[in-house]
Amino acid sequence: MTVTTTTRSERLVDLTDLTPLIETTTSADPAQVYERLRARWGNVAPVLLEPGVPAWLVLGHRELVTVLRNEGLFSRDSRNWGLLQDGTVTPGSGVGGVLAPRDGIYYVDGVRHRHLRRLVDDAFESVDEHHLAGITEQWCRRALDRVLAKGEADLVSEYARAVPLLVMSTMFGLDADQARAMLGHAQRVFQAQGAAGREALDAQRALIVELIESRRAAPSDDLVSAMLRHPSAPTDVDVQSAVSATLILGSQYEVAWITHALRLRLTDRRFDGRSGGLLSASDTLTQVLGSTPPAPNAGPRFALADTTLGGRRIAAGDAVVPGILAASAESRAAGDDIWLETGNLSYLTWGAGPHACPARRPATVIAQVAVSEALRRLGGVALTVPARTLAATGTLWSSVPRELPVRFEEHRPARQR
């Protein structure tokens, strides 16, 4: 099939018959969606964030690295988004509510971003991984004790969604009720349904403000207190901005990572240690990052000047979505990219450049313990539905199995022969 080329006279807003971006996270076969887009448009394809709101989706690895690393040309700050500036997108709309400008580590650039990033990096640097593993193991065991007593469970709602929030609540100083409230806010934010997204963000912000005020008055041994003690003497607003997106995004993607790994262990014998599979929990989690990453699409960047990317004319103000999964697949096919890390494409999930994920180490510890504990404790576990019927629930940015219904017998030591 001939690949269409864009002439300099064409603008993103003038292109028609565009694929909704949501298809890349909800399709049973995302590879087909990417192949169709790439065949028609090349490595940078126009898509719809929602009806009437177009953006560029980056499908190529070279192009992806260019966008992620070049903060001077591709900004995270949506104040640079042309469709927000001209009123096409309003802060109260679906994607407008989620992508509206805000002061947070993932939403600003330059000096402000570097200041907030130092708070987060230094706080995570202080995390004792052995202590974190112990905390995670405790929460995993409590969650598994509850499901084992029932004999069946949905491993998404009763385990994968519970453990990361409980662990992160301990890290940041949230109590159990606050953690459950944060999970609800995160789910509504990612669904991006009209004003509900904005309301959820406001509720999440209020919860963080309350936590910071309590830690300012009575410091404790948690990440919020560590940020408040930072040598740069951050304000409460600084700490709120550093914490908010880190907590809400981190918990959502951690849930997706653990869930995809459990699905793989339950549906692919190569990863199932209970039936002779030789690949470890770490191998499984790495495979997930390369094949079904928790964030198939990263948050959009906004072009600061007219430029060319992958043969496409990108106008100042255009939204550019980094396609993490699409670029990973393209790298496998090409095999000649100088940025490619040989034999391991999972690194793409963590991003690159100034906005690379700051929580890679603790996120990996939590996920590895959660998957290992589940497979160790759930003896005789089996899906109660055919694997092919496991549907994903997706937002523009994330994708996760809707449920993993299983039945199992309580783990018992193997009988001696």
pTM: 0.84
Query: Would 7 be classed as within a structural domain?
Result: no
Query: Would 417 be classed as within a structural domain?
Result: no
Place of tokens 């997930």: 288
Q: Give residue-wise pLDDT tens across range 212-268.
A: 999 999 999 899 999 999 999 999 999 998 888 777 777 778 889 999 999 988 888
User: Pairing relation of β-strands 44-50 and 53-58?
Assistant: antiparallel
Query: Would 78 be classed as within a structural domain?
Result: yes
Question: Span 388-398, mean pLDDT?
Answer: 84
Query: Would 413 be classed as within a structural domain?
Result: no
Task: For residue 119, give both structure tokens.
Answer: 């708070």
Query: Would 2 be classed as within a structural domain?
Result: no
User: Range of 305's domain?
Assistant: 12-407
Query: Would 414 be classed as within a structural domain?
Result: no
Query: Would 140 be classed as within a structural domain?
Result: yes
Q: Give residue-wise pLDDT tens across range 103-123.
A: 888 899 999 999 999 999 999
**CA nearest to 167, candidates 208, 134, 144:** 134
Q: Report whether pLDDT(339) > 80.
A: no
Q: What is the CATH number of the domain that holds 304?
A: 1.10.630.10
Angle at 157 between CA 152 and CA 160, to 5 degrees: 100
| Overall number of domains in the chain | 1
Burial group, residue 202, by CB count within 10 angstroms (0-12, 13-18, 19+): exposed
Query: Would 20 be classed as within a structural domain?
Result: yes
Q: Give residue-wise pLDDT tens across range 124-182.
A: 998 999 999 999 999 999 999 988 888 889 999 889 988 988 898 889 998 878 877 87
Question: Span 298-312, mean pLDDT?
Answer: 95
The secondary structure of 359-381 as a DSSP string is: THHHHHHHHHHHHHHHHHH-TT-
CB pairs under 8 A, 24+ apart, for 330-334?
330/34, 330/38, 330/43, 330/59, 330/60, 330/61, 331/61, 334/61
Contact of 139 with 389, CB cutoff 8 Å: no
Q: Give residue-wise pLDDT tens across range 27-55.
A: 888 889 999 999 999 999 999 999 999 99
